Structure 1
Amino acid sequence: MRRGRALADRSEFELNKFRADGRDRLLSLMPLTSYMSSANIGFAAVRDGDALLRANVVRIGGYLFVHARMPAATVVWPRDEHSADRVAAIVAESPALHVTSEAQVVARRGASFLIPPGTAPVTIEATEPLELVFVTLDATDFATRRRMGFDRISRQAMSEASIRPMVTFVKALCAVESEVAEVGVSPLADAACEVACSIVAALVGEHAPELSLPNAIMKILLRDYASPTLSLSAVAVMLGVSTRTVQSALSAQGRTFSGSLLEIRLKAATELRRHNPTMTLDAVARATGFGTRQSLHRAMRKVSMPSS
């Protein structure tokens, strides 16, 4: 486990793409510490001889984001004094994932798991190949940001529909074109850290203090703009109000839903491109919710057209 390197500045973005093929290769791996230094994780068993592992790993300071396609296998997170203060959230695309420990593990519907800080080993088992998102962060930083702890965990978490856009954001954050490590400054760093905290808070199940409706709408747009499926109706469902109520709340501030979302996405795309000039337009479009380069170009032309 790498211990000599200090945590990177929160705005520093580091990405690695990890690939491993075959049971022997996976079992002979040392814990994936060169990619996940804050989570000393390694394979304990692999079901298939031709198993494949694909993982994109992003580190932003003390925050770690992983989008992985995992084979049918058993992974162990032994944890130690260096990872005792880490909290982790796992959201899988299949119910074939099981997470167990002698310490507390919170399992939610839809194959979502919260692993509070502690030192007891954690076993993560996939009974079939599946896709998952793994996020880990420092519990103290989470408590400072959200004024929440893990001593009171609700019996019910937020709905899966409310967590899904945040998972989509993490996938977009981890998606790049190149096959090599990339390091740089990302304008999405603060948003990514906020999304990580939001996923953990959603799984804890405590409700944050209520915001005014316009502020609540804008918070969702700032948090979930990277999801290409974000829509007026989706925001209304998240807030438990009608689409007309959302439109009226924004209209009272001289805004529209589509205009606000477009403004946020274009600003993010501009900043992402400026700070990462080697990043392709396709990758920028995916990371900022446009989906395709063509959609990004259309949006840019739209705002550049003179008003009649």
Structure 2
Amino acid sequence: MKFRAAGRDDLLGARPLTAYMEAANIRFSAVQEREPILRANLVRIGRFLFAHVQLPASTVVWPRDELSRNRVVMIATEGAGFMVSSDSPVVARRSSSFVVPPGVDTVTFDASTPIELVFVSLDDTELGGERHVDFARVGEEVPAESALRPLVNFVKSLCAIESDAADAGSTPLGDAAAEVARSLVAAVVGEPVDPPDVFDSVMRILLQDYPSPHLSLLAVARAIGVSPRTVQSALRMHGTTFSDEVRAVRLKAATELIKRNPSLPLADVAKLAGFGTRQSLHRAMRTTKED
């Protein structure tokens, strides 16, 4: 889902943005700018929602109800000027990272200036088992920027290429995204976050560098600091291969380009998505259908 709004009429009255906000039970209660601009790329995978948003100076209200009482929200902003408040406890770190635990009290999001942010929402049942998060015990140590940055960049890359019809089932990309969401919540609440494993690191690079003609197994292995065999082994453990994931990521990018720009020549789509030639794009499409 991709939303764009320019001006108050678009922001407060244009569909499908207003339809989505009504369905999500959120609304603008105040807009400080005369000509606000909003850009939002959203991806839903199962019970996870990921968003990359350019928000105008405004106040957004989320009057939680029984249907959303089990939702956990994590927000990471690029810069200051953003606050989250509620009658229930909210975890805030450096005024740039926030976690809203499950609950029913209304939550208010205030942006005093236009701000870029990453938003992750998930069901609290996803934080059980090995990734248990205790919201009653917030860690004293503030999470390091170096720990959060790769996870935030993963969400940005995910939102940049996904089409409206995100896979709801279990896929290598979906599994990696789910673990990134859990890790972001755990890091802000105060649990130590292990460095991304090989598989997550590979997926992050593929999401960022898929248009490059120089993307290769060797290049990715060097970027991570491991051997190509280690990369292959990590992908094999998730039931996939390097070539399969490169093809899947590029096909998602090509699908989005075609949807957003139906008049764009296929040769240009192929080049922008990393296939290089139209013939390579056609071969990838045929291979996917045969699989």
Q: Which residue among 221, 225, 249 is the counterpart of 1:272?
A: 249
- Give CA-to-partner distance per residue, 1:173-200, whole Å, 9 cap, x none: 11149xxx62153652111111111111
Give me the whole-angstrom Cα distance separating, in 2, the residues matched to 1:260 and 1:293. 28
Q: Which residue among 87, 104, 112 is the counterpart of 2:72?
A: 87
Give the 3-state SS of the residue equivalent to 1:174 in structure 2.
Answer: helix
Q: Which residue does 1:147 correspond to in 2?
A: 132
**Residues 154 and 204 of structure 2 are in contact (CA less than 8 Å); yes or no, is this contact kept in structure 1?**
yes
Give me the whole-angstrom Cα distance separating, in 1, the residues matched to 2:106 and 2:133. 24
Residue 183 (structure 1) aligned with residue 168 (structure 2): no
Comparing 199-208 and 160-169, the one that deviates more = 199-208
**Residues 157 and 208 of structure 2 are in contact (CA less than 8 Å); yes or no, is this contact kept in structure 1?**
no
The 3 A distance-change label for structure 1 pair 191 and 149 is same
- Give the 5 Å matches for 1:124-273: 124-144=109-129, 146-176=131-161, 182-185=164-167, 187-207=172-192, 217-218=197-198, 221-222=201-202, 224-226=204-206, 228=208, 250=226, 255=229, 266-273=243-250
- Give the 5 Å matches for 1:56-71: 56-71=41-56
The 3 A distance-change label for structure 1 pair 99 and 265 is farther
Residue 21 (structure 1) aligned with residue 3 (structure 2): no
Give the 3-state SS of the residue equivalent to 1:225 in structure 2.
Answer: helix
Residue 121 (structure 1) aligned with residue 106 (structure 2): yes
The 3 A distance-change label for structure 1 pair 61 and 221 is same
- TM-score, normalising length from structure 1? 0.66
Superposed CA RMSD: 3.9
**Residues 25 and 63 of structure 2 are in contact (CA less than 8 Å); yes or no, is this contact kept in structure 1?**
yes
**Residues 158 and 202 of structure 1 are in contact (CA less than 8 Å); yes or no, is this contact kept in structure 2?**
yes
Is there any run of 5+ residues in structure 1 with no aligned partner, and where? 1-15, 230-245, 284-291, 301-308
The 3 A distance-change label for structure 1 pair 81 and 94 is same
Match of 1:268, as an amino acid?
Answer: E
Match of 1:149, as an amino acid?
Answer: D
Give the 3-state SS of the residue equivalent to 2:147 in structure 1.
Answer: helix
Give me the whole-angstrom Cα distance separating, in 2, the residues matched to 1:278 and 1:28. 29
**Residues 76 and 123 of structure 1 are in contact (CA less than 8 Å); yes or no, is this contact kept in structure 2?**
yes
| Pairwise CA distance, 1:295 | 7.5
- Give CA-to-partner distance per residue, 1:120-175, whole Å, 9 cap, x none: 11111111111111110001122246133322221224211211111111111111
Give me the whole-angstrom Cα distance separating, in 1, the residues matched to 2:242 and 2:93. 31
Comparing 108-117 and 33-42, the one that deviates more = 33-42
The 3 A distance-change label for structure 1 pair 295 and 35 is same
Q: Which residue does 1:112 correspond to in 2?
A: 97
**Residues 176 and 200 of structure 2 are in contact (CA less than 8 Å); yes or no, is this contact kept in structure 1?**
no
Is there any run of 5+ residues in structure 2 with no aligned partner, and where? 210-223, 261-270, 281-291
Match of 2:201, as an amino acid?
Answer: L
Give me the whole-angstrom Cα distance separating, in 2, the residues matched to 1:38 and 1:149. 29
- TM-score, normalising length from structure 2? 0.70
More helix by share: 2
**Residues 194 and 223 of structure 1 are in contact (CA less than 8 Å); yes or no, is this contact kept in structure 2?**
no
| Pairwise CA distance, 1:296 | 7.4
| Pairwise CA distance, 1:69 | 0.6
